[in-house]
């Protein structure tokens, strides 16, 4: 009797899971048609777009060929925006391929419409209608203003075509099904109020991806109520991880005792590396933090981000940002 009940229950669970997976497999991500906008390529927009691409939103870091032997993973000469394949040792669920964003019509975005580019950036939908892997922070870029995303596209249209055929992203099961729920259509997004440092700082921190990288993650989701408290682990290589720092104004484990000038100095200490080239370092001493680009942030942007971070709830969370380096140091574990 009990054996029949157990077997029946197990069969029910198997059928229910199969039905759920079947539904997920057939489901398309939420999407709206791309707009038919044609972005006007003014000098002001191109300049702002370059700043977003290479500095504030760090698009260049993921979509370029980089030198992983040097601090900050600088872009290799000729490697800007040509795309790449993330190494298997990075621990990602499959083969993740940030695409070629140059204007090459066959292997890049030369044949994409402006509306398709905007939809991919802010909504996470590829030209073929697939959900983009959310390592691409479209959940943050959805807050990017219409003017800024158009500036980004205006700059991307100036990128010299580079032929670089790349494999398609292949995401492992069941992540390939689960990410279909990540994209969401985005309507009109107003420009932020630059006269309000806290409001603009919140905007800048969002489109820079600060919250995602500096919030702990459990079960592939950022932990609610722990925003900016650090502890998000990133795998640089097999057995080598870095962990994001606590940015909340906790006085003991965060930035509570930092002055505005100390915050600026933390970024600008890497200006020389950004301008003249960074030194070679062991992988255990490297970082996923895009210091080389962020060292070029405008002072007003950094000041606004600092003003905003002062307003987030302080959370006590002591973080060892380079645990792998500690293990390989003399006397380390």
- The pLDDT value given to residue 6: 46
Close Cβ partners of 57 (under 8 Å, ≥ 6 residues apart): 141, 144, 152, 207, 208, 209
Say which residue the tokens 């002055």 belong to: 259
- The pLDDT value given to residue 13: 47
- Positive or negative, the CA dihedral 240, 210, 71, 330 is negative
- The pLDDT value given to residue 222: 85
- The pLDDT value given to residue 185: 97
The token pair at 58 is 């760090």
The token pair at 189 is 């997004």
Query: Which of 157, 146, 145, 169 shows the shortest CA–CA distance to 62?
Result: 169
Q: Are 175 and 281 in contact (CB under 8 A)?
A: no
Q: Are 293 and 61 in contact (CB under 8 A)?
A: yes
Say which residue the tokens 């001493």 belong to: 285
| pLDDT tens digits in sequence order for the chain, 333 residues long | 555 454 444 444 444 444 344 454 557 899 999 999 999 999 999 999 999 999 999 999 999 999 999 999 999 999 999 999 998 888 899 999 999 999 999 999 999 999 999 999 999 999 999 999 999 999 999 999 999 999 999 999 999 999 999 999 999 999 999 999 999 999 999 999 999 999 999 999 999 999 999 999 887 788 999 999 999 999 999 889 999 999 999 999 999 999 999 999 999 999 999 999 999 999 999 999 999 999 999 999 999 999 999 999 999 999 999 998 756 555 444
- The pLDDT value given to residue 16: 40
Residue 330: other Cβ atoms inside 10 A: 4
Cα–Cα distance, 146 to 248 (Å, whole number): 29
Q: Over the Cα atoms of the chain, what is R_g? A: 21
Burial classification of residue 86, based on how many CB atoms lie within 10 Å of its CB (0-12 exposed, 13-18 middle, 19 or more buried): middle
Query: Which of 71, 102, 108 shows the shortest CA–CA distance to 236?
Result: 71
For residue 127, cis peptide bond before it (omega within 30 degrees of 0): no
- The pLDDT value given to residue 220: 72
Say which residue the tokens 């892997």 belong to: 133
The token pair at 252 is 């003991």
Provide the b/e sequence for 56-81 (b: ≥16 CB within 10 Å).
bbbbbbbbbbbbeebbbbbbeeebbb
């Amino acid at each position: 009797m009990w054996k029949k009940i157990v077997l029946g229950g197990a069969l029910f669970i198997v059928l229910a899971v199969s039905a759920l997976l079947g539904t997920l497999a057939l489901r398309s991500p939420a999407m709206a048609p791309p707009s038919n906008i044609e972005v006007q390529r003014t000098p002001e927009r191109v300049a702002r777009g370059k700043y977003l691409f290479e500095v504030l939103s760090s698009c260049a870091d993921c979509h370029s060929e980089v030198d992983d032997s040097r601090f900050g993973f600088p872009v290799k000469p000729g490697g800007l925006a040509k795309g790449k394949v993330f190494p298997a040792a990075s621990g990602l669920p499959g083969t993740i391929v940030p695409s070629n964003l140059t204007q090459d019509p066959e292997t890049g975005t030369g044949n994409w419409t402006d509306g398709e580019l905007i939809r991919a950036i802010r909504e996470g939908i590829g030209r073929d209608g697939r959900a983009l892997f959310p390592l691409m922070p479209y959940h943050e870029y959805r807050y990017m203003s219409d003017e800024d995303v158009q500036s980004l596209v205006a700059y991307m249209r100036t990128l010299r075509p580079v032929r670089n055929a790349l494999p398609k992203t292949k995401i492992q099961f069941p992540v390939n099904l689960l990410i279909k729920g990540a994209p969401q259509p985005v309507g009109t997004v107003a420009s932020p109020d630059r006269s309000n440092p806290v409001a603009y700082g919140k905007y800048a921190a969002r489109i820079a991806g600060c919250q995602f990288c500096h919030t702990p993650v459990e079960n592939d989701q950022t932990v609610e109520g722990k925003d900016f408290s650090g502890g998000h682990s990133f795998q640089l290589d097999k057995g080598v991880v870095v962990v994001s720092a606590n940015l909340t104004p906790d006085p003991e484990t965060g930035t509570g005792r930092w002055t505005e000038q100390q915050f600026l100095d933390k970024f600008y200490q890497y200006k020389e590396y950004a301008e003249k080239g960074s030194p070679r370092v062991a992988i255990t001493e490297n970082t996923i933090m895009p210091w080389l680009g962020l060292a070029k942030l405008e002072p007003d942007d950094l000041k606004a981000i600092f003003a905003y971070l002062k307003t987030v709830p302080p959370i006590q969370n002591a973080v060892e940002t380079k645990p792998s380096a500690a293990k390989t140091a003399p006397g380390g574990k």
